A and B are shown apart, each in its own frame.
Chain A
């Protein structure tokens, strides 16, 4: 049977990609953020995952407003990154795991999540940057990918409660997967930040700490706020916490925090990194 080895969560700010490209990891501005990653890499090296199920949001690379799914599950043999329009390098491709993707899709639809399925799908910095941070020296990614995209762009967004339930359905799929895969669950994005409007630059450390403190042991606490209340507390892009909430659901009922880093600011964002283990 497959084993879910744990969960890795991190911000995915594009500027991180620029810092990696320039080799700025030790610069004073960046060091407090990158210092959160040796522990992640050590944990991954010990956990030896060979599949990553990743909850993220697309920023206008694969999806546009002509067809914008609330929940989309990739079921492709390969996923490529591509030019996002503003200067990031094009990152390495990802090998898919279509059999596991379809197993997840079967479970989700059986649980009445009417997801969009994608046999061709570009993936953006929200996937590439967390992988670059986790496996910085890899010639090819050491894990196969099952990507699950959540709409955090166009309201109405799915509620936090719905995203946690989505993750729990994915957990049921992973727990019943007959393959021998070792699966890491990844949630990317956040924490508080707002790029647009006169409130640009908004950060809310109290709300971020509430999210970080609740994630492992009490994720349901994160589902009590409406989406507009999450925007109020966390910023227009802080709603990317939905990806973390869904990923937490996919870990299963019990999880234990083994690593946390929180640093303000990275670009306009309160950056956070966390690792959760299963008992």
Chain B
């Protein structure tokens, strides 16, 4: 794929632990996200399962993106330009849901991640105004 011109987004104060999926990131991640988008089709999920390296090659993933996929490392996929909405389709192939992915990214066990969310529960009765 042709190299795209670098784009510098407007400066804004960073948010800890957060990547804004902007033009610069979207350019960097295009191949990875395109592969993930293809997983809407069951036959493409099967093709990936059958030969992961060949499937990544077909979409022209960068070495960084291939390594992140091979390692099932979601933070590395995001660093390589992945967007979580598309990555969720890849995670589904690995049998991971968004809570598994959340646990991996925060370095928690899945039960600890779920408990962290439950600990934020509010006691408002359902239907209360």
Instruction: Tell me the A residues contacting B by CB distance below 8 Å.
Output: 14-15, 31-33, 35-36, 38-39, 59-61, 64-66, 82-87, 153-156, 194-203, 205, 226, 228, 231-232, 236-237, 257, 259-265, 267-268, 270
Which chain A positions have C-beta within 8 A of B127?
Answer: 35-36, 38-39, 259, 261
If A195-B98, A200-B105 touch, does A154 touch B26 (CB 8 Å cutoff)?
yes
Question: CB-CB contacts of B87-129 with A at 8 A, as 1s and 0s?
Answer: 1110110000111011001110000010011101110101111
For residue B22, CB closer than 8 A to chain A, the reply is: yes
How long is the Cα–Cα vector from A267 to B94 in the complex, in angstroms? 18
Which chain A positions have C-beta within 8 A of B105?
Answer: 196-198, 200
If A64-B34, A200-B101 touch, does A205 touch B21 (CB 8 Å cutoff)?
no
**CB pair B117 A203 closer than 8 Å:** yes
How long is the Cα–Cα vector from A268 to B65 in the complex, in angstroms? 26
Contacts A60-B36, A196-B78 given; 6 further ones with Cβ under 8 A?
A: A33-B126, A60-B83, A86-B97, A154-B21, A198-B16, A270-B120
If A60-B89, A196-B105, A197-B105 touch, does A65 touch B126 (CB 8 Å cutoff)?
no
Instruction: Tell me the B residues contacting A by CB distance below 8 Å.
Output: 9, 12-13, 15-23, 26, 30, 33-34, 36-37, 39-42, 45, 74-75, 78, 83-89, 91-92, 97-99, 101-102, 105-107, 113, 116-118, 120-122, 124, 126-129
**CB pair B101 A195 closer than 8 Å:** yes
How long is the Cα–Cα vector from A59 to B98 in the complex, in angstroms? 14
Which chain B positions have C-beta within 8 A of A201?
Answer: 102, 106, 113, 116-117
If A196-B84, A264-B121, A267-B98 touch, does A86 touch B15 (CB 8 Å cutoff)?
no
CB distance from B22 to the nearest CB of A (A): 4
How long is the Cα–Cα vector from A22 to B119 in the complex, in angstroms? 25
How long is the Cα–Cα vector from A268 to B74 in the complex, in angstroms? 16
Which chain A positions have C-beta within 8 A of B22?
Answer: 154-156
**CB pair A154 B129 closer than 8 Å:** no
**CB pair A231 B89 closer than 8 Å:** no
Interface residues of chain B: helix, strand, loop or mixed (majority): helix
Which chain A positions have C-beta within 8 A of B116?
Answer: 201
If A259-B127, A268-B117 touch, does A84 touch B19 (CB 8 Å cutoff)?
no
**Chain A residue with the shortest CB-CB distance to B30:** A65
**CB pair A231 B15 closer than 8 Å:** yes
Which chain B positions have C-beta within 8 A of A226?
Answer: 12
Show 29 A/B contacts (Cβ-Cβ < 8 Å), sorted by A. Answer: A15-B98, A35-B127, A36-B126, A39-B127, A65-B33, A65-B34, A65-B37, A65-B83, A84-B40, A87-B92, A154-B21, A154-B22, A154-B23, A155-B20, A155-B22, A195-B88, A198-B105, A198-B107, A201-B116, A203-B120, A205-B122, A226-B12, A259-B127, A262-B122, A263-B126, A265-B117, A265-B121, A267-B97, A267-B98
**CB pair B106 A200 closer than 8 Å:** yes
Which chain B positions have C-beta within 8 A of A199?
Answer: 15-18
**CB pair A261 B126 closer than 8 Å:** yes
**Chain A residue with the shortest CB-CB distance to B39:** A85
**CB pair B120 A197 closer than 8 Å:** no
**CB pair A83 B37 closer than 8 Å:** no
CB distance from B26 to the nearest CB of A (A): 5
How long is the Cα–Cα vector from A14 to B19 in the complex, in angstroms? 22
Which chain A positions have C-beta within 8 A of B26?
Answer: 65, 154
7 pairs of A and B residues whose beta carbons are closest in the complex: A86-B92, A35-B126, A199-B17, A198-B17, A85-B89, A196-B84, A265-B117
**CB pair B126 A86 closer than 8 Å:** no
Q: Which of A14, A32, A228, A270 is B12 in contact with, Cβ under 8 Å?
A: A228
Which chain B positions have C-beta within 8 A of A237?
Answer: 84
**CB pair A86 B121 closer than 8 Å:** no
**CB pair B124 A64 closer than 8 Å:** no
Q: Which of A15, A64, A85, A197 is B92 in contact with, Cβ under 8 Å?
A: A85
